[in-house]
Amino acid sequence: MAVKKQAVKQQTGVDSNSRQAAYSARNRARLIKDAQMVLAEIGPSATIEQIAAHAEVSPTTIYKYFENKDQLFLEALSEAWDDFILWAISTIIPGDLLEVTLDTGRKLFWARKSHPLFADMLHNSLDQIPDFVYQADKGEGKSRFKELVKAELLKPEDFDERWALWVSIYSGLLRSVFVSEELTPAQANVALGIGLSIWGVSDVKAKKLISRQVLFEAVN
């Protein structure tokens, strides 16, 4: 077998192991995209059979790449979250670390306008996964807020307690926009400004922060 693989490599210039790895990566990426569609249509309550039917593969194929449906859905959510954050950062007016961080979070309120598929994923995920924000964020948000504290842009005392309150506030606002629809994106934006008080941000500064223009096109 080793001799055969070496012959293939000599003839094509490509190691068969590399080809197999690329093939597996493509299949895995496709399953993640299919899982995102299922999350948008059904949500995390979908069964592995429903995912398989949408992807037109057998459940066994999915288990070749993911331990279970929860792992697949988590990766699908995290990838969609990461894609949104990268887009949001590219469409933000330049500012200091606090302004850019908040602008990124604020833009999520308008996801139905910019990322309708992701908005549907948010609707179902926030409704069915209580700690969705914690899982999708993968700890990056907490690290960013620690940077803000280090830069003396937020109060440093009782950080963990303030962070827990902040996540609860932000998660609640997302649910109010995407699940119950009790708040419009503009109303959620105002409420986010009020929530900044837990970080010691004054009312005047908070109003200035949330009044920054929300852009949907890349900034040159």
Q: Give the model confidence (pLDDT) of 83-124 as tens digits.
A: 998 999 888 899 999 999 999 999 999 999 999 999 999 999
Start-end of H helices in 109-215: 111-114, 116-128, 132-137, 140-150, 159-178, 185-195, 203-210
C-beta of residue 153 within 8 angstroms of C-beta of residue 102: no
Quote the pLDDT of residue 14. Answer: 53
What pLDDT, in 10s, does the model give residues 139-167? Answer: 788 999 999 999 999 999 999 999 999 99
Q: Which helix (DSSP H) or strand (DSSP E) does residue 29 occupy?
A: helix 16-41
Reduce the secondary structure of 9-24 to three states and give it as a string.
HHHHCCCHHHHHHHHH
Identify which has the larger pLDDT, 131 or 57. Answer: 57
Q: What homologous superfamily is domain 2-72 in, according to CATH?
A: Homeodomain-like (1.10.10.60)
Q: What is the DSSP-derived secondary structure letter of residue 67?
A: S
C-beta of residue 155 within 8 angstroms of C-beta of residue 162: yes
Query: Average pLDDT of the chain?
Result: 89
What pLDDT, in 10s, does the model give residues 178-192? Answer: 999 999 999 999 999
| pTM value surpassing 0.85 | no
C-beta of residue 214 within 8 angstroms of C-beta of residue 135: no
Residue whose C-alpha is closest to residue 215's, from 119, 137, 106, 116: 106
Alpha-carbon distances, residue 188 vs 30, 60, 69, 109, 137 (angstroms): 34, 43, 32, 7, 20
What's the token pair of residue 137? 């964020």
C-beta of residue 142 within 8 angstroms of C-beta of residue 175: no
pLDDT band, very low/low/confident/very high, at 13 (cuts 50, 70, 90): low
Q: What angle do CA 195, 198, 201 make, to 5 degrees?
A: 85
Q: What angle do CA 20, 22, 26 make, to 5 degrees?
A: 115
